Structure 1
């Protein structure tokens, strides 16, 4: 199909959002309990990668970047994901100490956006998660020069083969020194539910000096 034909259809592409409502009385007492509820519902509905979130960062120069990562921890302290500490995202986080992450549950006409400061998780927390990872994923973390330009796929496969030989006799693989977790410590958490006529429900938990409060935002 010619590109022009695809572009002509973009203005007419729309979905009727009639999947649900979100009122203040429906919210659980805390943002993390409400987020856990929606995560559980997304998973129970069979949405693929229900814990996937689009992580947005900015470098010291203000240039924004976004990518999808998997949430691997959730409690009152924040939302945790794990990555290479030499990656582009980690460089951004070290430069600004801020991040935003959105869970896009299109199948439920919902999304949640978590926004706030970041901190590295403790090494014990990283080690506990690392022990649950498949061996292949552990090897990949050692082999991957994340965000670094490589000459081709062969370079990556060669690096993985070297790591496999290095740990061939190892029953357990240690955590790489350059790998670990980041925690987004929310200042705001917005719950969005699609509604008819684009009059969506937007309820935001906001951390204030007096504690958390809930605000309704215009759609």
Structure 2
């Protein structure tokens, strides 16, 4: 895996285009085998699935081999989409499209499951502290989450897989306007990752509704000793993002 000189490159499509020309496969946060026991609880084989920011991960191919045959994959890198489309050309029902997560060109209520693995983490790559998200990133996230909610069918699930601690990530997901409930799970050995399941049409729990109200009425300031340091040139992408 080739690391960029600066974290901001992770938001640059040119970086990913170049990387996908040289790198065959990489899975952030573990491969399908690490997640299968959790995904099987929230996805049915007949579900229509959208994978956001698919990259060159083996996730979609592994899900297809496991019996999930209606999978649409999107990424904003044309190189990625061209490569993956060719790689899985013999998989009927598996499609690949270049698209921005903030502008999904699908009709309302198109999918039973929308899945992302570290894609939203990449959106937040330049944030220095989890306590204060910049207005630009907050706007980006809101646009993406609004589109995700729009494209989910009633009862559909948005599955978000991340290394971000629930205390911080739920602050972004717990909004009544998205019209979903939030459930969380974790997996991993040595390093814990998190899997959030948002179910369309279910109300926020009283705890999550209270969290939303608190954030709206009394934005929580960061602690005085909150760290904002990042190692921008030597560490893995996950270590570079302080979420």
TM range (shorter): under 0.3
Q: Which protein has the bigger strand share?
A: 1
TM-score (norm 1): 0.25
Q: Which has the larger radius of gyration?
A: 1
Tell me which of the two structures has the higher relative contact order, counting C-alpha pairs closer than 8 angstroms and 6 or more residues apart. 1
